[in-house]
Structure 1
Amino acid sequence: MAISHLSAILALVASAVAAPTGILPLSERAGNTTGVQFVGTNIAGFDFGCSIQGECNTIKISPPLSNLGGADGPGQMQHFAKDDGWNMFRLPVGWQYLVNNKVGGNLDSGNLQKYDQLVQACLRTGAYCVIDIHNYARWNGQIIGQGGPSNEQFVSLWTQLASKYASNSKMAFGIMNEPHDVPDIDKWADTVQAVVTAIRNAGAKTQMILIPGNDWTSAQAFPTKSGPALLKVKNPDGSTDGLIFDVHKYLDSDNSGTHTECVTDNVSSAFEPLANWLRENNRQAINSETGGGNTASCQKYLCQQIQFLNQNADVFLGYTGWSAGSFNPQTYELSEVPSKNGNNWQDTSLVRACMVKKK
């Protein structure tokens, strides 16, 4: 066997071994034409009561668990996995809820037991399950590591969570939902680095860790504003295996995700520049929040956005919509909550048009 061929084979083996569970190794990214690896939605409810200032009123929590008087989140996930072919669910939760309002404290055993019911229901579908701390880089209005909770207090939360779930390869860790108006992106990168190091040192060696930038984790802003600073975040061994950039993008007039009509597919303005930047830096991203109303305009533009993600699956791992779970489908603008009639589930029109994986 020629030495060059042997070297190539050894390189492929090494990349396959190093690749985090569920992610295509580096050698297989280029030319990926099969579409994104992960599709799913958020199963919201444990984040209810959390404001954009990181204030979480735990009285307003609405667990998406029928045995706790809420929505049938487990049934929704089983339907999505079985009938729609989805394989990732993001599970938002407030930091205050997990530690019973004690910043830097231990996980509250009662509240954790309830949240874990949702996690275990997710895992039973066979899907990847993302813990999402839904606090906007804050605790009660104060920014982590920049005048608010210390990095050590935030690390304490993630050390405990990673230790609990380290043995399951299908867990993923979403460090923080939508940081915004963070004054120093380099200090935020230091906070993220501390969390990454803690998660890996807690035994979660191969699971995906979702790395959030500033600007509400905007896919459009990421390449020029947050990305350069966050490129320096590494695993303890110096690699970036499993460190996936976390981006959001809505399709309404102000990118707020509060309107039922959509006006853009975000391709030329956001995802195309981001794809180029990711390739230049040999990295990948996941779109963990996107969606729109159940309207013709959103069907048009969301389908176009998803088509672009599928065509650029070498750098985009996938997407999870916003949102199913405990939302009232009669009143919530971006509902992806399926309806149930007997044993049959019926998806919303937007999900049916754009998100169901073709069999």
Structure 2
Amino acid sequence: MKRLLATTLLAAAAAAHAAPLAWRGISLSSAEWGEKLPFPGVYGKDYVYPSVASTAYYQAQGMNLMRVGFRWERLQPRLMGELDAAELARLREFVDGTTARGLHVLLDPHNYAAYKDIHIGRPEVPHAAFADFWRRLALQFKDNARVQFGLVNEPRNMPTETWADAAQAAVDAIRQTGATNLITLPGNGYTGAWSWFESKWYGTPNADVMGRVKDPLDNMVFEVHQYFDKDGSGTNAECVSPTIGVERLQRFTQWLKANKRRALLGELGGGANAVCEQAVAGALKHLQDNADVWTGWLWWAGGPTWGDYFLSLEPDGGKDKPQMRWLKPYLKD
């Protein structure tokens, strides 16, 4: 039965005629690297930003959204202080050059809701500090309609209520600058779609708390991540089953519909094997079939320094990675 369903999923993907979702793209990772070295590290040695030119490959495939990771501490070396001019210039070079190509950029402070490993909501990193960071960043990019604001990557190790309060403070600070840009809001506990209703390991379920975060402009979507390996971490090249992609998204999709909210699948991926191919195809078809609540998706990952990382979509010697073939039915009209 599973083999028959998997074959059906692949056939459906190959024959997909529906228009692609509004956002489809990739998380470009590398500017947040080097956090375990003497921090903040040396630019060009410990971390780099992706080049604007490197986005041409993804744009040619039909992608239109680039999520770029960076570190809060590098951009704002002192809480409540000015943004670092050199680091801001590096980020701006990528953002301005990429959006000038007609692409959109999702800003991704890749910090897990912490500053120098101290989580937001602790006395050392109050909600006001997180709001101040986003106020300053919004002022820099609010006039570029192709820039989107991802509040932070994968909050963890904190009460869900604390994260919701911090997120609301950041949303309010962004809107008080006059910025109208799209905001993406992650949940607690690594923002997994499959753990949105979890009540054991990360605190109060996101399903019970995160809906209270509001945007006065209603230009905000939830950002969830989902992998298809055994523990949902994306660290194993093997996926659980051909149908796991759909299975891990269904309940969250129903929650979106019931609560009249929308979401972006901000990270997904799978190793280059037949089971993961089927799982990914099933997940992407599920998103497309529920386009009333899903706005798009981003593959994890790309960027210039991944080497032979099994999830990297960076072309190798001018050749596409196998997973790019899986995505093509969902990239172009």
**Counterpart residue number, 2:148:** 172
Q: Is the 8 A contact 2:73 2:116 kept in 1?
A: no
Shift of 1:256: 1.4
- Using the TM superposition, give the Cα deviation of residue 226 of structure 1 relative to its aligned residue in structure 2, in angstroms: 1.1
Shift of residue 133, structure 1, vs aligned partner? 0.7
Q: Does the 8 Å contact 1:123/1:129 carry over to 2?
A: yes
Q: Cα distance, 1:284 vs. partner?
A: 0.3
Of residues 143-152 and 173-182 in structure 1, the stretch that sits farther from structure 2 once superposed is 143-152
CA RMSD in angstroms, aligned pairs only:
2.1
CA–CA distance in 2 between the matches of 1:329 and 1:295? 19
TM-score normalised over the length of structure 2: 0.85
Q: CA deviation at 1:47?
A: 0.9
- From 26, 29, 35, the equivalent of 1:44 is 29
Pair 1:272–1:143, CA change in 2 (3 A): same
**Which residue of 2 is the match for residue 278 of structure 1?**
256
| CA spacing shift, 1:251–1:106, aligned 2, 3 Å | same
1:77, 1:56 → 2: CA distance?
Answer: 28
Select 1:193's aligned residue among 160, 168, 172: 168
For residue 277 of structure 2, the aligned residue among 299, 306, 312 is: 299
Tell me which of 226, 243, 258 is aligned to 2:206: 226
Distance of 2:46 and 2:328 partners within structure 1: 28
Quick one: distance in 1 between partners of 2:326 and 2:80? 44
State the alpha-carbon separation in 1 of the partners of residues 300 and 22 from structure 2.
18
Tell me which residue corresponds to 1:151. 127
Query: Which among 63, 73, 76 is matched to residue 86 of structure 1?
Result: 63
- Per-residue CA deviations over 1:224-277 (Å, capped at 9, x if unaligned) read 611331211123x4x5x1110010011112211112222244445431111111
> Which residue of the partner structure matches residue 212 of structure 1?
186
Q: Match of 2:92? A: 116
- C-alpha distance in structure 2 between counterparts of 1:228 and 1:328, whole Å: 37
Residue 195 (structure 1) shift: 0.3
1:41–1:322 CA contact under 8 A, matched in 2: yes
Find the counterpart in structure 1 of residue 232 from structure 2: 255
Query: What is the rounded CA distance, in whole Å, between the counterparts of 1:285 and 1:172 in structure 2?
Result: 14
Q: Separation in 2 of the partners of 1:57 and 1:297?
A: 40
Cα contact 1:247–1:289 (8 A) shared by 2: yes
Cα deviation per residue 1:127-172 (whole Å; 9 max; x = unaligned)? Answer: 2210001000111222101344111111111111100111111110
Kept in 1: contact 2:183–2:221 (CA 8 A): yes
Deviation by residue 1:166-223 (Cα, 9 ceiling, x = unmatched): 11111100001001121x2122111101100111111212x11011111101111225
Seen in structure 2, the aligned counterparts of structure 1 residues 124 and 323 have a Cα distance that, compared at 3 Å, is same
Which whole-Å CA distance do the structure 1 matches of 2:106 and 2:46 have between them? 18
Indicate if the aligned counterparts of 1:289 and 1:321 stay in contact, CA closer than 8 A: yes
Matches of 2:39 and 2:208, distance apart in 1: 31
**1:26-55, CA deviations, whole angstroms, 9 ceiling, x for partnerless residues?**
xxxxxxx5342110001111111246xxx9
Give the 3 Å change call, closer, same or farther, for CA 61–117 of structure 1 in structure 2. Answer: farther
Checking the alignment, whether the CA contact within 8 Å between 1:139 and 1:148 is kept in structure 2 is no
Query: 1:348 — aligned with what?
Result: 321
Secondary structure of the 1:45 match is strand
Q: What do residues 108-145 of structure 1 show as CA deviations (whole Å, max 9, x unaligned)?
A: 00111012111123212212210001000111222101
Matching residue within 313, 322, 330 for 1:336: 313
Which amino acid is the alignment partner of residue 310 of structure 1? Q
Distance 2:103 2:152 in 1: 21
Distance verdict in 2 for CA 1:338–1:300, change over 3 Å: same
Q: Classify 1:57/1:302 alpha carbon distance in 2 versus 1 (closer, same or farther; 3 Å).
A: farther
Q: Is the 8 A contact 1:288 1:319 kept in 2?
A: yes
> What is the CA-CA distance between 1:56 and the residue it aligns to?
6.0
Number of residue pairs matched?
A: 306
Mapped partners of 1:202, 1:134: distance in 2: 23
Structure 1 gaps of 5+ residues are 1-32, 66-72
Residue 139 (str. 1) matches residue 115 (str. 2): yes
Preserved CA contact (<8 Å) 2:99 2:105: yes
Displacement of 1:290 in angstroms is: 1.0
Secondary structure of residue in 2 paired with 1:222: coil
Instruction: Give the 3-state SS of the residue equivalent to 1:193 in structure 2.
Output: helix
* Aligned partner of residue 209 in structure 2, secondary structure: helix
Q: Which amino acid aligns with 2:184?
A: L
**Structure 1 pair 61/156, CA: closer, same or farther in 2 (3 Å)?**
farther
Q: Report runs of 4+ in structure 1 exceeding 4 Å deviation.
A: none
- For 1:134 and 1:273, the matched residues in 2 are separated by 27
Contact 2:223–2:265 (Cα < 8 Å) also in 1: yes
Task: Indicate which of 284, 290, 293 corresponds to 2:268.
Answer: 290
